[in-house]
Amino acid sequence: MGKNSAPDLRFKLPIFGDAGVGKTTLTHRYLHGLFKNSYHSTIGIDFYLKRFEIDGKKVSLQIWDFAGEEKFRFLLPGIINGANGTIFMFDITRYVTFQNLTNWLSVFNKANKTHGQKVPVFLVGSKTDLEGLRTVPSEEGKKFVKAHNLVDYIECSSKNGENVEELFKAITKIMISNIK
């Protein structure tokens, strides 16, 4: 995609989940193909842009990396306004990050209702490279998706890159299908 060619489609994609589940690491792996062991905690929101082509369409993906601390949760309703898709993320080695998804989702659903929108949600289990430390079985993620009527569930590793590209391609295709 040349510098002067405008994208056909622009999508807003916030990523939510508890602090330390790997939202920033996932975003950096996707954008730059790099993995760093540590990042500073996100304060409020970080914003990234990725341009690419998929199915012959030029896409501009605005990724909103949302801070995981509860003190920032009041910002969620404003962030979700106008979103085309969302990623909810938990760490497969920290069960509490999975349990907390219910709170995240309740704030999210309320905000969607307020804004009169229905934003598709992809559930992501992170840190599959730490399989030996897993506390959340894959089946629980799949059950959560069904119980809460989310779009899909995928597990990934920002460390080794497993399913990172696949995740962003899948959510982009869903966002594209929703505009038709």
Residue 1 — pLDDT band, cuts 50, 70, 90? very low
Residue with the bigger pLDDT between 26 and 34: it is: 26
Residue 59 — pLDDT band, cuts 50, 70, 90? very high
Contact residues for 141 (Cβ-Cβ < 8 A; gap 6+)? 90, 98, 123, 125, 153, 155
What is the pLDDT, as a whole number, of residue 77?
73
In a domain, 130, yes or no: yes
Beta bridge partners of 152: 122
What is the pLDDT, as a whole number, of residue 118?
92
In a domain, 1, yes or no: no
In a domain, 4, yes or no: no
pLDDT at 180 over 90: no
Residue 109: CB atoms within 10 A of its CB come to 16
Q: What tokens does 96 get? A: 């509490």
pLDDT tens digits, one per residue of 88-104: 999 999 999 999 999 98
pLDDT tens digits, one per residue of 132-146: 999 999 999 999 999
For residue 66, the enclosing domain spans 9-178
In a domain, 105, yes or no: yes
What CA–CA distance (Å, rounded) separates 159 from 137? Answer: 20
CATH of the domain at 60: 3.40.50.300
Domain count, the chain: 1
